[in-house]
Amino acid sequence: MITAPRPVVRTEHGLWALERTLQNHGFQHVAGTDEAGRGACAGPLVVAAVVLPTGKRGEVPGLADSKLLTEKARERAYDEVLKRALAWSVVVVAPQEVDRTGLHVMNVRAMRQAVQRLDPCPSYVLTDGFPIKGMPAPTLAVWKGDRVAACVAAASVIAKVTRDRMMNELHTVFPAYEFDRHKGYSTPEHMAALKVHGPCSEHRFSYVNVRGSLIGQDVAVSAS
């Protein structure tokens, strides 16, 4: 009985090693998907999916996990990903939908939607951290995928920059919460504002800290 040799991931390819291995084994279009805003208590959940081209064109300058990049570096990487990507997509999940259906359920659903919107359809999908059923191609969950797979890192940048821009816009509507500073995460400054003003319509009311701030408060539906 002859067994096929196991794929070897060549670490000298760095962030692109896993994709290059998959491409060398016939999976030409490798997609990565990641989200931004999972841990926030206000604002949307944003999920992105990206297919980078093979070869040098797919080696995006300055690409890394979005959390490791400065804001300016993320913006530069964002522009490069959009310029180079074979395909990319973004799905935005409103906080009301997170409350109604649940964070993890909506995260998984949005990842499926983001990948399904890609054209060309990927031949392989890499997800960050946990497996996703129902993808249109073989799928591998990669621990800390945004730090070890270029397409996942690209998706993390697209999701993060998209969401940050949305939070900056929300700041103009709800300036009392300073969404432009903390992007809806539970910082001490955000929690202090939540205690004083109560939640607004962009908060996730299913979260304990937001629900706890409702006592004796009216929900702000416009600028404070």
For residue 10, the model assigns a pLDDT of 47
For residue 25, the model assigns a pLDDT of 92
For residue 220, the model assigns a pLDDT of 53
Q: Could you give the CA distance from residue 121 to residue 77 in angstroms, rounded to a whole number?
A: 23
Provide the total of helices (H) and of strands (E) in the chain, helices listed first: 9, 5
pLDDT category at 13 given cuts 50, 70, 90 is: low
Residue 212 has pLDDT above 80, yes or no: yes
Residue 145 has pLDDT above 70, yes or no: yes
Rg (CA), the chain: 19
pLDDT category at 130 given cuts 50, 70, 90 is: confident
User: What is the sign of the dihedral through the CA atoms of 124, 107, 62 and 149?
Assistant: negative
**Mean pLDDT, residues 47-61 taken together:** 95
Strand partners, 87: 51
pLDDT category at 4 given cuts 50, 70, 90 is: very low
**Mean pLDDT, residues 117-127 taken together:** 96
Q: Is 35 left (phi over 0), alpha (psi -120 to 50) or beta?
A: beta
For residue 216, the model assigns a pLDDT of 52
Structure tokens given for 124: 């392989």
Q: Could you give the CA distance from residue 197 to residue 219 in angstroms, rounded to a whole number?
A: 9
For residue 223, the model assigns a pLDDT of 44
The structural domains of the chain, with segments of one domain joined by +, span 13-164, 173-212
H/E element, 139: strand 139-142
For residue 217, the model assigns a pLDDT of 57
**Mean pLDDT, residues 1-9 taken together:** 40
At 163-185, the pLDDT tens digits run: 999 999 999 999 999 999 999 99
Nearest 5 degrees, angle CA 43-CA 46-CA 50?
165
For residue 7, the model assigns a pLDDT of 46
For residue 6, the model assigns a pLDDT of 43
Q: Which CATH class is domain 13-164?
A: alpha beta
